[in-house]
Structure 1
Amino acid sequence: MIPNPLEIPITDTHIHVDPINGKGPLKIAKIFYNNGGRVMIIPNKPAWNFGQPTNYEKGMDLNNEYVDLINKETPVHAYSFLGVHPAEYSNLIRAGKTYQEAYKRIIKAINYGSKEIEKGNALGIGEIGRPHYPVEEEELKYHNKILEYCLKLGKDLNCPVMLHTEDFTPQKYEEIAKIADKIGFNKNKLIKHHAEAHVLKEENFGIVPSITTNKTNIIEALKKGTRFFMETDFFDEDEHPGMVLGPKTVPKRTLNFIQNEIMTVEEAFQIHKNNVEKVFDIDQ
């Protein structure tokens, strides 16, 4: 029996909501759902978006509130990820904090988020990782320390960790995979957000790519397999309405690809249901 495409739990694995600077959680969730989307994985935005640049805990609390609102008021299933964006560490350094002072503040916030994960209020740690812009070597050492701390915490919590990093080559995937292996963190729960079509094991070394869902990326990925996610990294900011991609993108592209026989229904179920259930440990 051929599965019904309308039953695919189409999932955007990295999408933001912002009621202060954008349309907000309910409008975005409804746009997503009306175009065929069913599941949203929502990392908190940086604290500066809410006017309190170093109140990371408040940003996490707000994210959990928005996720709860979506789940209560719309048919979409939403899940919260809590973390501290690498740029927030960089901002503390620019503001005059020492590397160690900034590190302690970020770790305090990460620990706060971990308690929310323990309570069941969030699904995993993220987005965390390394800057996508050049920094001094000493600063990069501390970004890597934060990354290792989060992987140790993720191992203890048995939860997924979502990475924000520089663009990855296979060599970069291998570097991070070795860090995960050293810690004993399960790479099947390590997600590279804003990824390109690095689907093969020799390209990603066991890390799971969450691929930016432009047409070229997904077509290239499908040539290699289905072990990947689809994301928009939508920012929900009125000043940048389509940044990075709009909230319609993942469902519309998935259904369009099925209609045009670029993606099979079975492949769509693998990407949006089986992969999501396995990595995020949720039932679709």
Structure 2
Amino acid sequence: MQKPRFPITDDHMHIDPVNGIGINAVKEFARSGGTHIFLVTKPSWSFGIDAVRPDDFRPVFEKTIALAVECREAGVTAFPILGVHPAEISRLTARMSLADAEALMIGALRVAAEYAMNGEAVALKSGRPHYEVDAEVWAASNRVLASALQFSAECGCAVQLHAESGPCADVVGMAEGIGMPVDRVVKHFATPDTPLHPSFIANHESIPEAAEEGKVFTMESDYIDERDRPGSVLGPRSVPRFTLRHLEAGRLSEEAVWRIHAEVPERVYGVEITL
């Protein structure tokens, strides 16, 4: 395989060897020109885990770290992002109180932060439900999110947020109040109006214009790697394919490609992205 001319980085990808095609998705990404991925923890239920205490999330985190090693062996540099999917709160409250679910999620994020502190992860994952919930669940989810911001500030790492569509502007005040740099708070599946760091889905129509204006953003596939949902979000080849299409059509310059796929993620996550 010919060496790429520049890095192509997917800012949010899942790999699931249990429910999906696993490392074969990474190989597809590489064959299409992809070089680096931010490998995001899947929900605990993807691995059949019904967590009752924070340490029950360790197998999920350690599997993500092990998968990152497999990605590197397949020729793609992978950076683990560990945390708790915000939809966990809905599953957990089906079998425990809301207060216990909140405490469990915060405890699991504290465990994830241990790995970040040790250099085994580059960011935490948190957020709040992207679907309608009652006021009590929303308030609890915001407390979980605030804890993730606090742990990220303490670790000196970034945090990725899975949240409702839209700017999530209120998170700015939450982050600033605890000393978490807003430019390291990544809004996964972002819209252009967010004041947080936007990670745009690869087919987002705003990418060429945002690049032309020199805006700071990254690109993602949100590939979920589940056989029973093959058409959900985008495939593993999408970030390289859309990047190269824009480049060939003159909608992105090589300078913009380097900025989007190397310079910006290096600053946000504190990693090194090289070929």
Same fold (TM over 0.5): yes
Amino acid at match of 2:164: E
Deviations 1:116-168 (A, max 9, x none): 11221111101x11100111101111101011111111111000000000001
For residues 209 and 228 of structure 2, what CA distance do their matches in structure 1 show? 31
Report SS of the residue matched to 1:63.
Answer: helix
Aligned match of 1:182: 177
Counterparts of 1:88-99 in structure 2, within 5 Å, are 88-95=88-95, 97-99=96-98
Q: Select which of 203, 210, 229 maps to 1:214.
A: 203
Report SS of the residue matched to 2:233.
Answer: coil
Q: Is the 8 A contact 1:234 1:242 kept in 2?
A: no
Q: Is the 8 A contact 1:44 1:82 kept in 2?
A: yes
Structure with the bigger percentage of helix: 1
Question: What fraction of aligned residue pairs are identical, expressed as a percent?
Answer: 32
The CA RMSD measured in Å over matched residues stands at 1.5
For residues 217 and 53 of structure 1, what CA distance do their matches in structure 2 show? 39
Aligned match of 1:75: 75
Q: Is the 8 A contact 1:226 1:271 kept in 2?
A: no
Q: CA deviation at 1:19?
A: 0.4
Q: Which runs of 4+ in 1 moved over 6 A?
A: none
Q: Is the 8 A contact 2:14 2:225 kept in 1?
A: yes
Aligned match of 1:62: 63
Aligned match of 1:243: 232
Q: CA deviation at 1:38?
A: 0.3
Report SS of the residue matched to 1:109.
Answer: helix
Q: Count residues with an aligned counterpart.
A: 267
For residues 222 and 50 of structure 1, what CA distance do their matches in structure 2 show? 38
Q: Is the 8 A contact 2:212 2:252 kept in 1?
A: no
- Answering whether residue 272 of structure 2 is matched by residue 283 of structure 1, we say yes
Q: CA deviation at 1:220?
A: 4.5
For residues 264 and 145 of structure 1, what CA distance do their matches in structure 2 show? 41
Aligned match of 1:109: 108
Q: Select which of 244, 261, 271 maps to 1:255.
A: 244
For residues 75 and 45 of structure 2, what CA distance do their matches in structure 1 show? 30
Counterparts of 1:20-169 in structure 2, within 5 Å, are 20-24=18-22, 26-54=23-51, 55-71=56-72, 73-95=73-95, 97-126=96-125, 128-169=126-167
For residues 213 and 232 of structure 2, what CA distance do their matches in structure 1 show? 27
Aligned match of 1:19: 17
Aligned match of 2:188: 193
Long gaps (5+) in structure 2: none
Amino acid at match of 1:53: D
Report SS of the residue matched to 1:204.
Answer: coil
For residues 108 and 181 of structure 1, what CA distance do their matches in structure 2 show? 22
Q: Is the 8 A contact 1:132 1:167 kept in 2?
A: yes
Amino acid at match of 2:211: L
User: CA 1:107–1:279 in structure 2 vs 1: closer, same or farther (change >3 Å)?
Assistant: same
Q: CA deviation at 1:223?
A: 4.9
Report SS of the residue matched to 2:20.
Answer: coil
Q: CA deviation at 1:225?
A: 3.1
Report SS of the residue matched to 1:216.
Answer: coil
